[in-house]
Structure 1
Amino acid sequence: MVSACSIAGSDSGGGAGIQADVKTFTALEVFGLTVITAVTAQNTREVRGTWMLPPEAVRTQIETVADEFAIGAWKTGMLGNAANVRAVAEALPDGAMLVIDPVMVSTSGHRLLDEDAIADLVGLLIPRAGVVTPNLPEAEVLAGMRVRTHDDMAEAGRRILDLGAGAVVVKGGHLTGDAAIDVLVDRDGTAEVSGRRYPYSVHGSGCCFSAALAAYLARGMDARGAFAAAREFIDTAIERAVGGPGTLRIVNPGGTNVRWR
């Protein structure tokens, strides 16, 4: 049985975080395991509250699932604070295939990673990552530079790669233009995937993309193959996104055309 584990926060709205990751794993026929780092009260428009779990709870969850399951890939999402970053670094099995989605701020602007946790993320987890998947604001923080062009994306990716990651995917969704372009940087150079930019915003696309990447890695793909497959998956998910009551849509990883009444 192919398994993958998400280490992330719970999204009560079901569109991002642990819930989105498990839906994505299921859609890609991977058994989803979870380690919950935080409970949030949120919907597609706002985060009303966040409650962090203690690091002992995070550590024990990781150790417990690792004791029984052969986990092909792990992914991190919202870690929240330095204590939980350190707990993940301590408990994660040696040699684990790790995808890091460096979640720092929600789509609605709510901070999801304390500033003093960034140094631990850089020093303890990124050097162990098979792939890191920052969006443009996250890439700017990790690379220490402004990212405004596709060339900037590649340079930011190289700087993050120098932190010890195996590969970096800089997501270009925050750039303007008709095409949405993501850039992968690894030891062999760079690769780009572009696709249509849709005229609406989505909630949970970053979580779904990194979960899909982890699922494909768990199924035995290399980083470049998993990147291309995950990008195709998320493009389809965004195209078929579920219409919500607000300005945002919820990404629908399974591709079922559901409409809210």
Structure 2
Amino acid sequence: MLSIGGYDPTGGAGIIADAKTIKLLGCNPLTAITAIIPQNSLKVYSKVDLPKEEIENQLNAIFEDFKVPVVKTGVLNNDAINLILKYQKEYNFKIICDPVLKSTTGYDFTEGNDNNLIDNYFKLFEKSLIITPNSEEYNIIKNFNAYEKLKNNNNYILITGKDDKLIYKNKELRIFKGKTINREVHGTGCVFSSAIASFIAKGYDIVHAIKEAKNLVLSSVIYANKTKYGYNSNPTYINKEVVIKNLNYAIYLLKKMDFEYFVPEVGSNIAEGLVLPKSYKDIAALTGRIIKNKLGNTNNKGNKFYIVGDIEFGASEHIAKIILAANHYDPKIRSCMNIRYSKKLVNILENEDCGFTISSFNRKDEPEHVSSMEWGTKFACKIFGGAPDIIYDRGGDGKEPMIRVLGNDSVDVIKKVAELIKIYKNINNRI
């Protein structure tokens, strides 16, 4: 898949962001630079267009040696548009056009070009499978006379924002609802359009491609890379396959650990959810539990504990309630594991700098007719001011005390559990 657009040295936007997204989705990222655009999360410093000859040399090098089914475009000038139209006529690739007319920081990418740049853009629009302007860019485009013809053409127009509106032949086909994440992230438009292009290259239909790309761009905002003054997009794709893969690897790591002491009497479970899970059905866990080997000897795999059951979505409402509640306070938190309570360990974690954040709840304070796990997790997160690494309680009538380890994913959780085991062993060595 080929991305044609501007070079952003920070990698938050432009062809670097495109290439990261394309590779993440399993496509081969080919790139052609149209302009050098020094920018960051605060401003665009300048825009220097490459000569037509240099743009064409890049395209020649690519099309001579690669089959290109899909081209995604970003910042363009007249020369770039003319070349894309020329190559499209010869190679008949699909075009996903992201008309980058103005940056979120207010820089006008159309300045310094001939007056016919927008007219040229409309020629490109006519050859595009889908056009992905944001609402501001769409308001610019629709005010040109050429839009009257475009709106009735066989082109999809996706007006992007929190909620994305898909239009075809001047009719609204679908609204793709989004979520509000309170941060301004540099490069999300590039990530979104290149994700759509990648899914189309993989054979997805338009609606399915947009839906999956929207999940990806939401993840790229949640997991955005913090800069001094803002955030850079961080292409991240988390689907059910990724969650299952993470859990399988986490369990593989667990089998190599001295975990037997940390298995509670009721057993342990580990779970991981999709991005912004809505219910327990969006969270995968073991259908059984991790249980002690009561005989004390090792099983045939060398462990003093057994892992019972398969990994399935919707397997455990109990542990899912913890993740759902914690995710409300920190959308990065998608995984949890319950382990045996240790007073010695909790005292060390609360009184020494071990690199863990910790909070708790008291079952005696639990209101009537509520979910213990949901209420307890929310209470612990509220008094902490976010989602900590560890939430514990000291038990109650008929309830075993418990430690719950939270993390970004199940592998993150298992690594935290491994560190807790080290700390616990050091406690015993002190005695």
Mark yes or no: TM-score above 0.5.
yes
| Equivalent residues in 2 for 1:25-40, closer than 5 Å | 25-40=22-37
Q: Relative contact order: is structure 1 or structure 2 higher (C-alpha 8 Å, sep ≥ 6)?
A: 1
2: CA distance, partners of 1:84 / 1:255: 30
User: 1:76, 1:101 within 8 Å by CA — same for their partners in 2?
Assistant: yes
Do structure 1's residue 8 and structure 2's residue 5 form an aligned pair? Answer: yes
Q: Is the 8 A contact 2:102 2:108 kept in 1?
A: yes
Q: How does 1:23-172 map to 2 (within 5 A)?
A: 23-79=20-76, 81-92=77-88, 93-114=90-111, 116=115, 117-122=117-122, 124-144=123-143, 161-162=150-151, 164=153, 166-172=155-161
Give the aligned partner of residue 254 of structure 1: 236
Residue type of the partner of 1:128?
A: K
What's the offset of the Cα at 1:94? 4.1
Deviation string for 1:115-166 (max 9, x for gaps)? 62111111x2111101100001110111118xxxxxxxxxxxx968526352
Partners of 1:55 and 1:83 within 8 A in 2? yes
1:151 maps to none
Q: Does 1:193 align with 2:176?
A: yes
Distance in 2 (alpha carbons) for counterparts of 1:239 and 1:61:
34
* Secondary structure at the counterpart of residue 9 of structure 1: strand
SS of the residue 1:71 aligns to: coil
- Counterpart secondary structure, 1:195: coil
More strand by share: 1
Deviation at 1:68, TM superposition (A): 1.6
Identity, % of aligned pairs? 28
DSSP 3-state at the match of 1:47: coil
Which shifted more, 21-30 or 57-66?
57-66
Instruction: Write the distance in 2 (CA, Å) between the matches of 1:132 and 1:103.
Output: 11
Residue 15 to residue 160, structure 1, CA distance change in 2 (3 Å): farther
- Structure 1, residues 41-94: CA drift from partner, whole Å, max 9, x if none? 222211112211012222232232122212221000001x32332222223344
Aligned mates of 1:129, 1:192 — CA distance in 2: 21
Q: How much does 1:208 deviate?
A: 0.2
Whether the aligned pair in 2 keeps the contact of 1:59 and 1:91 (CA below 8 Å) is no
- Contact persistence 1:8–1:18 (CA under 8 A): yes
Q: Take 1:162 and 1:96, find their aligned partners in 2: how far apart are those partners?
A: 22
Three-state SS of the structure 2 residue aligned to 1:83 is: helix
CA distance in 1, matches of 2:153, 2:63: 24
- Aligned 8 A contact 1:161 1:185 in 2: no
Which residue of structure 2 aligns with residue 20 of structure 1? 17
| 8 Å CA contact 2:94, 2:128 repeated in 1 | yes
Cα RMSD of the aligned pairs, angstroms, is 2.2
Q: 1:130 to 1:214 in 2, by over 3 A?
A: same
Which protein has the larger Cα radius of gyration, Structure 1 or Structure 2?
2
Structure 2 residue 163 is matched with structure 1 residue 181 = yes
Give yes or no for contact 1:59–1:88 (8 Å, CA) kept in 2: no
- Report Cα offsets for 1:201-235 as digits up to 9, x if no partner: 11000000000001001001111111111111111
For 1:23 and 1:61, how far apart are their aligned partners in 2?
A: 19
- The 5-angstrom pairing of residues 230-249 of structure 1 reads 230-246=213-229, 248-249=230-231
Partners in 2 of 1:121 and 1:250 — Cα distance?
28
CA contact (8 A) 2:75 2:109 kept: yes
Distance (Å, rounded) in 1 between the aligned partners of 2:152 and 2:91: 18
Amino acid at match of 1:109: G
Given that 1:126 and 1:164 are in contact with CA atoms closer than 8 Å, whether structure 2 keeps it comes out as no
- Name the CA distance, whole Å, in 2 between partners of 1:125 and 1:104: 14
TM-score normalised to the size of structure 2? 0.51
Distance (Å, rounded) in 2 between the aligned partners of 1:113 and 1:21: 21
Unaligned 5+ segments in structure 1 are 146-157, 173-179
